[in-house]
Amino acid sequence: MEYNFKEVEAKWRAKWASDKTYKSEINSDKPKCYVLDMFPYPSGAGLHVGHPLGYIASDIYARYKRLKGFNVLHPMGYDSFGLPAEQYAIQTGQHPALTTEQNINRYREQLDKIGFSFDWDREVRTSDPSYYKWTQWIFIQLFNSWYNPETNKAESIETLIPKIKNFDQLSEKEQSDILMEYRLAYLGEAFVNWCPALGTVLANDEVKDGVSERGGHPVERKMMKQWSMRISNYAQRLLDDLEGIDWTESIKESQRYWIGRSEGSSLRFEVQNSELKLEVFTTRPDTIFGVSFMVIAPEHELVEQLTSADQKQAVEDYLEKTKNRSERERMADVKNVTGVFTGAYAIHPFSGKQIPVWIGDYVLAGYGTGAVMAVAGHDSRDYAFAKQFNLPIIPVVEGGDLEKEAYEAKAGKIINSDFLDGLEVKDAMKKVIAKIEELGLGKGKINYRLRDAVFGRQRYWGEPIPVFYKDGIPQVLPENELPLVLPEVDKFLPTEDGEPPLARAKDWKYKGEFEYETTTMPGWAGSSWYFLRYMDPKNDSAFVSKEAVDYWQNVDLYIGGSEHATGHLLYVRFWTKFLNDRGFIPVNEPAKKLINQGMIQGRSNFVYRFDFHGKVLFQSTFEENSEGMARESFEDAKVEVESDVLYYFVDNSPNIFLSHNYYAEFINGKLSKEDICNLVKIKFPFFNDYTERYGVDFELSSIKLTALHVDVNIVENDVLDLDAFKNWREEYKNAEFILEDGKYICGNEVEKMSKSKWNVVSPDLIVEKSGADVLRLYEMFLGPLELSKPWNTNGISGVSNFIRKLWRLYNQDGVWSVSEEKAEKKELKSLHKTIKKIVEDIERFSFNTSVSNFMICVNELTELKCNKREVLEPLAIIISPYAPHIAEELWLKLGHKDSIFTATFPVCNESYLVESSFNYPISFNGKTRFMREFDLSVPKEEVEKEVMAMEQTQKYLEGKTPKKVIVVPGKIVNIVL
RNA sequence: GCCUUGGUGGUGGAAUGGUAGACACGCAGGACUUAAAAUCCUGUGGCAGCAAUGCCGUAAGGGUUCAAGUCCCUUCCGAGGUACCA
């Protein structure tokens, strides 16, 4: 009996579920291991083969760790608040909770088919009130905390109050306002990305090229009152602690860049004939003598006061222009330098020279002080501005060619700089900062690019912010009144006055009296702490129990996509540090190790349709006959008469498809339109008949081959399943094909996986056709986990064969045939070599090579006709993380009562691997020429001697005396000529 | 532009500085079969040759080394991220 994957897999999945095989509990006897996947947003489209890639990898790792004696926590859940469900709700009126539920069910069904070892009892959903109760609770803790720069951690707001002078004597409103400037969750004014089409505010990382990431709607900058998170207080720690975590370098680099630490100095410039002072931040105080102008942002608060009377009109015009320029436009032409002179002059703090003050939109209001001291010689943006407006460029660092470009390197000797002349950049930097501080003009300073994160969204489908307003003063809800449940609304749209959807909720007031906050939390709120909730998902009295978090600590392995580098992965680090500061959890990083799985792209297939018009060349006397002929053949023919010539225009009927090679040759010019027509005529002689009898012919100008996406699920190895194609769509029912070598070969292209390109492959289909084990092995076999690669099923039969071969090791001629005989040395060697490799592979997440190693092992054992329990039992265990279903079935048949996942991963016995001899490659100048076997006990000198004495050696020596002979024992012999 | 990655047969991909192309797909030939499927066997980087064998070959060019796909330098190309951050 051949292996029946359908029956076996279904049986085990049911049994694992009913036995709760993967249930994990706090068990302090065993070391813990927490393996986490980035949880999915349950979209309406369901899973495609790209999604499970990371899940399979983490599942293998989790199962492996379990067999290695770890107590493994491997949960799964859903990031179930989000915009798509809300937009669907707006379109259809269906409640997002409903569609979310449906989508989750679909995801679950698909996930279940793949045989993951998730502990489903720990499932979380961020949109569930029992979950978001605690998201709200954490918000309250953030609200009630401030960042103490002295202790360098978050503390209760209570420790701040004594530091504020006369706090008791202030009014309630004044107290609230002061504390609001320190709270880690605070209500503040901020420029936000307002998206009118979505009626919501978007985070920086949700805006791409000036349009919303989801939906692509335009976004404008607008000043609004917003709930925000003071993540910027954590900038330095978020940066420093990257050192201690084992994350991919690319993610760390993105985060470093995003945090954007820069060291420099603040510096105040006096303004001529004015009391005003202009403060700038610069990273190059050493170039202070190279300042030839200043530039301030159009939004700078001093713009009006600095503008002189005769520049007033010009400045106003400029401001009007930049205001109307959308973000998108500004980004589209970065090269277009714009600006205007204010008419004001600043005074150089050292030289006393006049420096013109300009306005330019390359200076951003939100960074530093919104003003720069422009050093055109040593900053490319200042350089471009100076060139545009003919401003002076003063070289102050030696090196570079200022005729061509700015010299930005921080190296060289300082020139033209008074007391700094002759110093190296580094030393000049120190000296000038000291001077600036001495004169009280400013001080050395560190700036961060990282901005506070806006937390409020003008949306319905998110966690309500647990805040109400009493006399205009925001108050958080008492903790015992959580959760603040999302109220029902009549529509999921903003109100007519532009209020968020929650403002529609009827009689939704705290104690029937006080207005609730109407914005909701962003998508990242729930995902910033979910790794903690999995530890204790049902806890009703705490977000996680001390016991659970003390045991599970943090994530040992986190697998997910790199697209979350600066969003989710930064926020979750921030919240973790905060919760740690406040003593709620013992860890300050969420994940010790993180790896990114690559994207699986789609591999589209194409068919090539022959498109033509038919044309009658005969004159009108033949009209009737010809027309009859046409009607008979082409039901949809359009008939037109033009100067006595009858034309039939026949559109795509019948459907004729040419195999890919013809298309390729047509495109590269090897086949002409005539050649294509002739091919069609050879295949379908009736076209020839028409030509001969009635003069019907193809109109050459209309001939083309149209490439059409074809459903990749009816194509195998680029060969089209003709019958399936005919049934695919009604209009292809009578399709005709021109084949090559008896097959219809489809074209292919790598594109993003998408429904419209017909290249989406659902894992369900693979499972249906080949089984879950095959899907799991194949996804791993495709290549290194981190690399992006196109999906193709070309190699899947190899994995299918492997599973069958594995089965046959245990079953000869369909009969269970494992013997109790003692295994031979060769057999044990094959097994132990494999154990060693698999352990190495898993530890370095090289899952593709481990599949190869299993294949090698099974091939070897098949060759040896090995059927010994001593070998086959450990083999089942080492393969079980990869192919759990078949392994479990083999385990049962081997006579075990308990699941294979209660077994122990075998240990490699090195003594089986010891080789007594080695087949040395003998090379000349590094080129291997022949082989020679030596016992490994033979000393170097002896090897050299014997090799030199060989006849073949003499041949390659060509009579010369070798300069040197290198013998690396167990590796190679190299003879240098 | 910058950052991060990659670039190896027809294809997916292997290779602690030590026999480049493991494993798999595909392809070709063969066995079994009335036939097909399945299975099994053999071959398969390129060029030349009946063959033995020789030459060439890891994006391109240099370098280090007895020995380089691997280390260093320069250049080119692809993918992902990012963007006027003073």
Q: Please tell me whether any atom of strand B lies within 7 Å of the Cβ of A797.
A: yes
Q: Please tell me whether any atom of strand B lies within 7 Å of the Cβ of A643.
A: no
Q: Please tell me whether any atom of strand B lies within 7 Å of the Cβ of A855.
A: yes
Residue–nucleotide distance: A932 CA to B46 C1' (Å): 28
| pLDDT tier for residue A167 given thresholds of 50, 70 and 90 | confident
**Which residues partner with A602 through β-bridges?**
A751
Using the CA of A372, which nucleotide's C1' is the nearest one?
B86
| pLDDT tier for residue A652 given thresholds of 50, 70 and 90 | very low
Residue A630's nearest CA partner among A258, A144, A641, A336 is A641
Q: Please tell me whether any atom of strand B lies within 7 Å of the Cβ of A232.
A: no
Q: Please tell me whether any atom of strand B lies within 7 Å of the Cβ of A601.
A: no
Half-sphere exposure (Cβ direction) of A592: Cα atoms closer than 13 Å: 10
Using the CA of A337, which nucleotide's C1' is the nearest one?
B84
**Which residue pairs, CB below 8 angstroms and at least 24 apart, start in A479-484?**
A479/A137, A479/A140, A482/A133, A482/A134, A482/A136, A482/A137, A482/A140, A483/A129, A483/A130, A483/A132, A483/A133, A483/A136, A484/A136, A484/A516
pLDDT of residue A157: 92
Cα gap A38→A52, rounded to integer Å: 11
3-class secondary structure, A145: strand
Cα gap A862→A368, rounded to integer Å: 69
Q: Which range among A236-240, A455-459, A944-948 has the greatest average pLDDT?
A: A236-240
Angle subtended at Cα A828 by Cα A826 and Cα A830, rounded to the nearest 5 degrees: 70
pLDDT at A638 over 70: no
What is the torsional sign of CA A947, A948, A949, A951? Answer: positive
SS (H, E, C) A915-927: CCEEEEEEEECCE
| pLDDT tier for residue A221 given thresholds of 50, 70 and 90 | low
- A661 Cβ contact partners less than 8 Å away, ≥ 6 residues apart: A740, A745
Beta-carbon count within 10 A of A14 CB: 11
Using the CA of A281, which nucleotide's C1' is the nearest one?
B86
Using the CA of A786, which nucleotide's C1' is the nearest one?
B5
Q: Please tell me whether any atom of strand B lies within 7 Å of the Cβ of A849.
A: yes
Average pLDDT of the residues in A921-941: 83
**Which residues partner with A923 through β-bridges?**
A928, A974
Assigned token pair, A900 = 């294979």
Assigned token pair, A444 = 């050395």
- A919 Cβ contact partners less than 8 Å away, ≥ 6 residues apart: A931, A932, A933
Average pLDDT of the residues in A114-131: 94
Average pLDDT of the residues in A787-804: 84
Q: Please tell me whether any atom of strand B lies within 7 Å of the Cβ of A442.
A: no
**Which residue pairs, CB below 8 angstroms and at least 24 apart, start in A471-477?**
A471/A172, A471/A173, A472/A173, A473/A172, A473/A173, A473/A176, A474/A176, A474/A180, A474/A187, A474/A517, A475/A514, A476/A139, A476/A140, A476/A143, A476/A144, A477/A136, A477/A140, A477/A510
% of chain A exceeding 90 in pLDDT? 32
Cα gap A46→A311, rounded to integer Å: 60
Q: Please tell me whether any atom of strand B lies within 7 Å of the Cβ of A856.
A: yes
Using the CA of A802, which nucleotide's C1' is the nearest one?
B24
Residue A373's nearest CA partner among A433, A455, A441, A284 is A284
pLDDT of residue A542: 93
Cα gap A361→A337, rounded to integer Å: 8
Q: Please tell me whether any atom of strand B lies within 7 Å of the Cβ of A254.
A: yes
pLDDT at A47 over 50: yes
Q: Please tell me whether any atom of strand B lies within 7 Å of the Cβ of A568.
A: no
pLDDT of residue A620: 40
In terms of DSSP H, where are the helices of A440-539? 524-527, 530-533
Residue–nucleotide distance: A619 CA to B75 C1' (Å): 66
What is the torsional sign of CA A254, A258, A259, A265? Answer: positive
Q: Please tell me whether any atom of strand B lies within 7 Å of the Cβ of A929.
A: yes
Assigned token pair, A211 = 């349009």
Tokens 């190279």 appear where? A290
| pLDDT tier for residue A213 given thresholds of 50, 70 and 90 | low
3-class secondary structure, A418: helix
Q: Please tell me whether any atom of strand B lies within 7 Å of the Cβ of A381.
A: yes
Strands in A473-476's sheet, in edge-to-edge order, are: A473-476, A467-470, A514-516, A509-510
Q: Which of residues 169-198 of A touch strand B (CB under 7 A)?
A: none
Q: Residue A704: exposed, middle, or buried by beta-carbon count in 10 A (0-12, 13-18, 19+)?
A: middle
Cα gap A697→A282, rounded to integer Å: 76
Q: Which range among A351-360, A710-719, A948-957, A960-969 has the greatest average pLDDT?
A: A351-360
Burial of A293-303, coded b for 16+ CB within 10 Å and e otherwise, reads bbbbbbbbebb
3-class secondary structure, A340: strand
Half-sphere exposure (Cβ direction) of A94: Cα atoms closer than 13 Å: 12
Residue–nucleotide distance: A911 CA to B8 C1' (Å): 35
3-class secondary structure, A901: helix
Q: Are A514 and A450 in contact (CB under 8 A)?
A: no
What is the torsional sign of CA A529, A530, A531, A535? Answer: positive
Between residues A690 and A740, the one the model is more confident about: A740
pLDDT at A647 over 60: no
3-class secondary structure, A384: helix
pLDDT at A747 over 90: no
Average pLDDT of the residues in A193-211: 64
Angle at which helix A685-694 crosses helix A673-683, to 10 degrees, equals 100
Q: Are A571 and A664 in contact (CB under 8 A)?
A: no
Cα gap A931→A950, rounded to integer Å: 11
Phi/psi at A46 (nearest 5 deg)?
Answer: 80, 180
The kind and range of the H/E element at A295 are: strand A293-296
3-class secondary structure, A977: coil
The kind and range of the H/E element at A173 are: helix A172-180
Q: Please tell me whether any atom of strand B lies within 7 Å of the Cβ of A799.
A: yes
The kind and range of the H/E element at A615 are: strand A614-619
Tokens 């209020």 appear where? A499
DSSP A183: B
Residue–nucleotide distance: A36 CA to B69 C1' (Å): 35
Residue–nucleotide distance: A847 CA to B22 C1' (Å): 15
| pLDDT tier for residue A648 given thresholds of 50, 70 and 90 | low
Q: Could you tell me what percentage of chain A is helix, strand and coil, using 3-state DSSP and rounding each to the nearest 5?
A: 40, 20, 35
Assigned token pair, A382 = 């200042």
Q: Residue A757 to residues A50, A393, A708, A711, A749: CA-CA distances in angstroms?
A: 15, 54, 9, 8, 10
Q: Are A726 and A732 in contact (CB under 8 A)?
A: yes
pLDDT of residue A487: 92
Q: Are A454 and A203 in contact (CB under 8 A)?
A: yes
C1' of nucleotide B81: residue with nearest CA:
A254
**Counting runs of H as helices and runs of E as strands, what totals does chain A give?**
31, 42
Whether the bond into A784 is cis, omega within 30 of 0: no
pLDDT at A392 over 60: yes
Residue–nucleotide distance: A490 CA to B35 C1' (Å): 69
Using the CA of A363, which nucleotide's C1' is the nearest one?
B84
Using the CA of A284, which nucleotide's C1' is the nearest one?
B86
Residue–nucleotide distance: A783 CA to B8 C1' (Å): 14
The kind and range of the H/E element at A873 are: helix A869-879
Nucleotides of B under 7 A from a protein CB: 3-6, 11-16, 18-20, 22-27, 39-40, 54, 66-68, 79-86
pLDDT at A867 over 80: yes
Q: Please tell me whether any atom of strand B lies within 7 Å of the Cβ of A739.
A: no
pLDDT of residue A618: 45
Cα gap A92→A95, rounded to integer Å: 9
